[in-house]
Chain A
Amino acid sequence: MEKPILSVRNLNIKFNLRGRTLHALRDVSLDLYKGESLAIVGESGSGKSVFVKSFMGLLDANGWVDSGEILYNGEDLTGYKKEKQWLGVRGKQIAMVLQDPMTSLNPLKTIGAQIMEAIELHQGLHGEEAREEMLSVLTDVGITEPERRAKQYPHEFSGGMRQRVVIAIAVACRPQILICDEPTTALDVTIQAQILSLIRQLKQKYNLTTIYITHDLGVVANVADRIAVMYAGDIVEIGLCEEVFYDSRHPYTWALLSSLPQLGVKGEPLYSIHGTPPNLFNEVKGDAFAPRNPQALKIDFVKRPPYFEVSPTHKARTWLLDPRAPKIEPPEAVRKLATEGVKGYA
């Protein structure tokens, strides 16, 4: 890891919904290092998408950065007021691949035309040069017969191929950072594996920094150098991939890992987190996960925990790491993950 390419400092993001204010991100900080692959995991509604959208000026119109900084190349992106300023970042510097490739493609234009457009806009190439680059990008993402394929429309492609095209367009812009929000959820495992290995190759070829958002912890184990775990608008734990899988410290991370079907015992109920996440219209007190944590400490309901360092690369926001806290062991399933791992197939 080198120096940070992107630094987020104490970011607070709010939304206005029918006159009420929802506090979606609560004082989040993060350093993203050049060339790394960061995975963001966490419950539905915890703020993963809002967080990365804020790097590209893509928050919905009813949302705003309330305070904090997003430093990219020494510049604070939260100061951008005009759409024109964002156009210099969006796609060019930071590109995004979304869950449903159909929403990112224009059904009325050929695949080739859409990739050419991106190349002309971002690389300044034109005519024959742009066309050649387009064909080479299609080859890059593993589409055979690019000449014929370029003339086709999105509906003539399968789901996996469409997702490759969206990645092709994102990469054609030669961004520094590639964000993938649930890039493979709609795909089956063999195609998912191909797309993940494609992103990995492109990452090496172009020295990309990548951020993955996914609910699939198997995918996380595959792609991540580092993992950030989000809960209720906050990063509650962050560390190297191995640190989070094998030595997690926050009770929410424990609960998340325990719900994995791979750690369940057949014929017995699967672990599930009871209750619901906090209502972000109200002010969250203490540790946001406390009401759902059967082993919560008294202080968890009163005071928000700071980050405690587990290693120079690993920290977690939980009072359990305070030297005065009682010793609470992670659940058995989580310990087993560290000692035995999960079963694959023979």
Chain B
Amino acid sequence: MPENKELLLAMPENKEVLLSVRNMSICFGKGKNLFKAVKNVSFDIFKGETFGLVGESGSGKTTIGRAIIRINPTTSGDVIFKGQKINGKISRELDRKVTREIQMIFQDPMASLNERAKVDYIVSEGLLNGEKISEKVRRDRVEKALSEVGLLPEFASRFPHEFSGGQRQRIGVARALIMQPDFIIADEPISALDVSIRAQVLNLLSVLQKERGLTYLFISHDLSVMRFICDRIAVIHKGVLVELAETEKLFAHPLHPYTRALLSAIPLPDPAREKNKVLEVYDPTQHDYSFDQPKWVEIEKGHMVWGNEKELAKYREMLKA
């Protein structure tokens, strides 16, 4: 039995790339106030996987998500979705397709829902910009989307403040699902929730993935949750991707010192371990990039890391040990 399960959980060899981000940079402001929020980031997301993006507050996670769904313009680089470039100037037709097929669930369930609109309107808002549909079809689709996230049809006539945190987050999920997307960007979908509601929302996301073959970009700073649901995890620090690997690989062999610091800081619900744990502190001044410049390199199959020649040599030693 256990062997069987491992086979099922393993990634197929020929993974189909759904989304590619290549050398993407995003800047805010101009001149003296120019701020580079995302710096030359590259990664692929495979069809059907849950891809995690983790990093400290302000590291650029939400900005990347917003760039993929075309809310934030990119300064340079490419975003390729199903083989087509979708950033920068694109045809209206392609823009429509992207708007429908890629959906985002926003960070704060309290702030992201329009307080004065009824659930019915909130959930079907995205349909308004698409092709015309009859009122009956619209209602049916709202009802279906609500039931998929475990909410009753009569909730459609209520206002957001009449729901608990977990229910509000489900409304956000229903609003994304109604578009029948292939790809969902979930930005901290659970951080505002308590333990038991968190489990409900995570289970819901994974059921939907199985039923519909959805692909997720899961943004979070809760590494315990990410370990549980992500197939692969990318670590970002101040706008730079520093490491990317399959989840268990990353936990077993973290290479970049920032990844190591992050993993060592995860609070473990186990007092015997937690009270004796050793924190690794990340000091960015340890990198000397004055001559030997860093690169984004595949150091072993599927394991990317950011480092210069000297650091990469050290990481290779660490992998051998």
Contact = CB atoms under 8 A, between A and B. Distances in A.
Contacts of A262: 224, 227-228, 268-270
A15 B199 CA distance: 30
Nearest to A197: B279
A266 interface: yes
B266 A261 contact: no
Contacts of B229: 261, 266
Contact of A272 (B200, B223, B228, B268): B200
B287 to A, nearest CB: 17
A222 B275 contact: yes
Interface range on chain B (Cβ under 8 Å from partner): 35 or more
Contacts of B199: 259, 261, 270-273
A159 B251 CA distance: 27
Interface string B242-262: 000000000111100000011
Interface string A162-196: 00000000000000000000000111111111000
A190 B282 contact: yes
B202 A245 contact: no
A49 to B, nearest CB: 13
Contacts of B194: 43-44, 215
Contact of A189 (B197, B203, B223, B270): B223
Contacts of B277: 344
A245 B270 CA distance: 7
Given A189-B262, A217-B195, A221-B275, A261 B225 contact: yes
Interface string A193-230: 10001000000000000000001111111101000000
A345 B254 contact: yes
B196 A259 contact: yes
B36 interface: no
B264 interface: yes
B56 interface: yes
B141 interface: no
B175 to A, nearest CB: 22
Contact of B267 (A219, A256, A273, A346): A219
B195 A260 contact: yes
B92 interface: no
B246 to A, nearest CB: 12
B275 to A, nearest CB: 7
A130 interface: no
B271 interface: yes
A189 B222 CA distance: 8
A341 B272 contact: yes
Given A43-B196, A269-B206, A344 B265 contact: no
Given A190-B56, A190-B261, A216 B282 contact: no
B275 A345 contact: no
A216 B275 CA distance: 15
B214 to A, nearest CB: 15
A346 to B, nearest CB: 5
A267 interface: yes
* Residue among A44, A189, A193, A241 having the largest count of chain B Cβ atoms under 10 Å: A189
A219 B269 CA distance: 7
Contacts of B263: 345
B139 interface: no
Nearest to B272: A341
B198 interface: yes
Nearest to B221: A188
Contacts of B224: 218, 260-262
Given A262-B224, A266-B9, A344-B277, A337 B270 contact: yes
A79 interface: no
Contacts of B207: 269
A215 B166 CA distance: 14
B147 interface: no
Given A189-B221, A221-B269, A345-B251, A256 B195 contact: yes
Contacts of B195: 43, 215, 217, 256, 259-260
A17 interface: no
B114 interface: no
Interface in B181-221: 191, 193-200, 202-203, 206-207, 221
A76 interface: no
B268 A344 contact: yes
Interface string B1-32: 00001001100000000000000000000000
Contacts of A188: 55-57, 221
A218 B269 contact: yes
B48 interface: no
A220 B191 CA distance: 17
B48 to A, nearest CB: 13
30 contacts: A43-B194, A43-B196, A188-B221, A189-B223, A189-B262, A189-B267, A190-B265, A192-B267, A193-B279, A215-B194, A217-B269, A218-B268, A256-B195, A259-B196, A259-B199, A260-B195, A260-B224, A261-B229, A270-B199, A270-B203, A272-B196, A272-B203, A341-B272, A344-B268, A344-B273, A344-B277, A345-B252, A345-B264, A346-B252, A346-B254
Interface of A: 43-44, 158-160, 185-193, 197, 215-222, 224, 241-242, 245-246, 255-257, 259-262, 264, 266-267, 269-273, 337, 341-346
